[in-house]
Amino acid sequence: MLENIFSFLKFTFSRDKAFCLCIKNIVGFFPNNVEYYRKALIHRSASIVNSKGKIINNERLEYLGDAVLGLIVGDLLFRKFPDTDEGFLTQTRSKIVNRNTLYELTKQLEIQHLIKVSADQSISKKNIYGDALEAFIGAVYLDLGFQKTYKFVEEVIINKHLNLDKLIDSNSNYKSLLVEWAQKYKKQVNTYTEPEYEGSKYFVSVIRVEEQNIGEGMALSKKEAEQKAAKEALDYIKNNFTLS
């Protein structure tokens, strides 16, 4: 409570209320030290040199934010999906922290308008935005601590601006791809999924084409087991079937 009052008083007497309010609207908290955020939004192409000759840009904060974001997302997924294996968790975390997702999140958070960058058209916006968001998270961590950074990532980034279920299914719905292949080439595909053994927490899925087993997957959920089997089946098809 006292911390919130202190932050509000700093905002009240700040010389740049507009910028502070921008940060508050994005994060949900008033900043204590706005200089962290200013630095987080300076792309290396727009680096400045301070009075001591030190180059100022967001590269170090990007490094820190990347590590903090990875830890928080990893922890969130570990708690949200207690019955999934390491492969699922790694793949899902990768989808959240990759440049395409960070690029879209930066726009949804409206951080892109605050980024300082050179006018060089050869610079990829995806990299600029992704780097800036990671640096911004690094700034939140240094300014407000891990607990509030965790809350920002969970409540604002994940819950408010990211459709996690859609993201998990994107580009990895191997069952749908397999059905498309079967329809196109008029093949009969059968999927058999059952517990590994009576009382087991694991499911085993087998995919059969023309009475031949071409894919198998095992996971803690039926859906994931079938996706793994479908992926293996697609790999088999790619290497063994003549698609003509």
All domains of the chain, ordered by start, with CATH? 2-169 (1.10.1520.10), 174-240 (3.30.160.20)
Of 3, 16, 59, 66, the catalytic one is 66
Find tokens 């030290």 and name the residue: 33
For residues 58-74, b (16+ Cβ closer than 10 Å) or e, as one string? beebbebbbebbeebbb
The answer to which of 127-131, 137-141, 177-181, 200-204 has the lowest mean pLDDT is: 177-181
Of 134, 143, 226, 232, the catalytic one is 134
- Best CA proximity match to 33, nearest among 142, 172, 120: 142
66 is catalytic: yes
- The answer to whether 220 and 83 are in contact (CB under 8 A) is yes
pLDDT digits (tens, 9 = 90+) for 164-195: 888 876 656 788 788 888 888 888 899 999 99
- The answer to whether 198 and 214 are in contact (CB under 8 A) is no
Instruction: Report pLDDT for 243.
Output: 44
- Interatomic CA distance for residues 102 and 113, integer angstroms: 15
pLDDT digits (tens, 9 = 90+) for 46-71: 999 988 889 999 999 999 999 999 99
- Interatomic CA distance for residues 207 and 169, integer angstroms: 20
134 is catalytic: yes
